[in-house]
Structure 1
């Protein structure tokens, strides 16, 4: 091999590049809307799951449905009238929005999500279902306050995180 010649590639795997970074305007919108999303978080995620399970019943087997039961107490960390899963997702969405400019602040949340998703056989083709239902739920719950600009920012942010998870999950 010549001194400056690189060895031939021995694999055809796609290089790890990571997701496209979020735009500055998306980060600003997420930070600005984080308080209202926090205020309505479990209503948004409960609406999302209701829509998703109604319109895409085939994804129900990917979830532990006992985590979707609405309890009257705070068992499992959920507020009264809110399922554990809706509460957990709301907290994840709120945490992501609040830290979208400092993802290191999320600690081990992303690796834990990856581990959980892999164990449940979550695949790349499931992300458009969840994302579409989440964005619709934001629009339903927030109504006219969820402008096209806000929904577009949340869509960009969702796909940033989804792409990160898909890559880490090996999908």
Structure 2
């Protein structure tokens, strides 16, 4: 289990909510551009959903929901369960999470700029990302084991 999020991270992530609400789809669209440079990862995604904007909108909404509820994680139980089911369905594994982090965090800076997406903001989002990723990885491992 991951260590609890620091209060500083919770505060910073919550404070980014308005920027995510305004620019979330631009961030996730940029993230997918970066992520899909890896052909193996790109093949895991429904490209029609990506091209239509559905996938970036869905992920932007999920990230915003996480930011808004990072201090009330129980509120995300349903969303986490849906993510786990979808990830297992599409073959997401633990080794994919570093690739997403390597695409998402720079995309935040690409879209928001270094004045808003400071090192402190990206560090907080990195901590928040890995907290959620570790939770998903554990739940996905359980789901894969149960399906075997």
**Equivalent of 1:162, from 129, 133, 136?**
133
Three-state SS of the structure 1 residue aligned to 2:70 is coil
* Deviation of 1:69 (Å): 1.5
In the other structure, the counterpart of 2:45 is: 63
Aligned 1:8-157 pairs, distance under 5 A: 18-54=1-37, 56-70=38-52, 83-144=53-114, 145-157=116-128
**In the alignment, which residue of structure 2 is the partner of 1:12?**
none
Listed as ranges, the gaps of 5+ residues in structure 2 are none
Aligned CA distance change for structure 1 residues 110 and 63 (closer, same or farther; 3 Å) = same
Task: Quote the Cα distance in structure 1 between the aligned partners of 2:23 and 2:42.
Answer: 24
Q: Which runs of 4+ in 1 moved over 3 A?
A: none
Q: How many residues align?
A: 141
Relative to its length, the structure with more helix (as a share) is 2
TM-score, length-scaled by structure 2:
0.92
Larger Rg: 1
